[in-house]
Amino acid sequence: MLIQLYVVHLSTRPLRRGTRYEIDCAGPLIIQLPADSSGIQASATDASGSQVPLAVQAPLTAIPLAFAKSLRAQPGTQFADIGQPGLSTGSYTVELAFSLPEARAFQEKVLYAALIACGHSKYLQPIRPLVTSMTRVLALAIQPTTTETSASAPHLFGGIRSYGEATRTVSCAR
């Protein structure tokens, strides 16, 4: 098993005293799938084999980001927001199941995000990869053999790389 560590430094500009904020780095997975995907479900399996269903919001065409920007699904695709509430700390395999009208090859893109709530703002901050456009996210080729398909969320890093670090400033509306 390859243990992967990705350190993210998130900060805000100076805040007025008493401004409430919350940063959840175990925020949702954002997965880009074909627009005609349906019946999207997700589950997390821990090292002991225990499986937990995850909350799924789909279809979504845009995800709110900081500074009043949005992350938009590419043409012919949709987003599925895979929430991870209630998972204890640990290592999980996340599996996604959905249906397509016909079996065909497609590209899946996965984005790890932090959930930011600050002042009157609530949005996602892409963490891995740090992007504001889905065109910059590495695509995974999926070759299903039936119309009901499942796929696992990829590790933070492909290959053998096991460490990464990034810094971002997040927005906080008053």
Q: Please write the tens of the pLDDT for every residue from 79-107.
A: 999 887 666 777 778 888 888 898 888 88
* pLDDT at res. 113: 85
Range of the domain at 42: 5-168
Is there a domain that residue 174 lies in?
A: no
Is there a domain that residue 115 lies in?
A: yes
Is there a domain that residue 128 lies in?
A: yes
* pLDDT at res. 131: 82
Is there a domain that residue 173 lies in?
A: no
Hey, what amino acid is at 143? Q
State the Cα–Cα distance between residues 71 and 63, nearest whole angstrom.
5
Q: Percent of the chain at pLDDT above 90?
A: 16
Is there a domain that residue 33 lies in?
A: yes
State the Cα–Cα distance between residues 60 and 78, nearest whole angstrom.
6
> pLDDT (tens digit, 9 = 90+) per residue, 17-61?
887 777 777 778 899 999 999 999 988 888 888 888 888 999 999
Number of domains in the chain: 1
The residue-averaged pLDDT of 139-164 equals 62
The residue-averaged pLDDT of 108-124 equals 83
Pairing outcome for strands 163-170 and 5-12? parallel
State the Cα–Cα distance between residues 7 and 52, nearest whole angstrom.
26
Is there a domain that residue 163 lies in?
A: yes
Would you say residue 168 has pLDDT above 80?
no
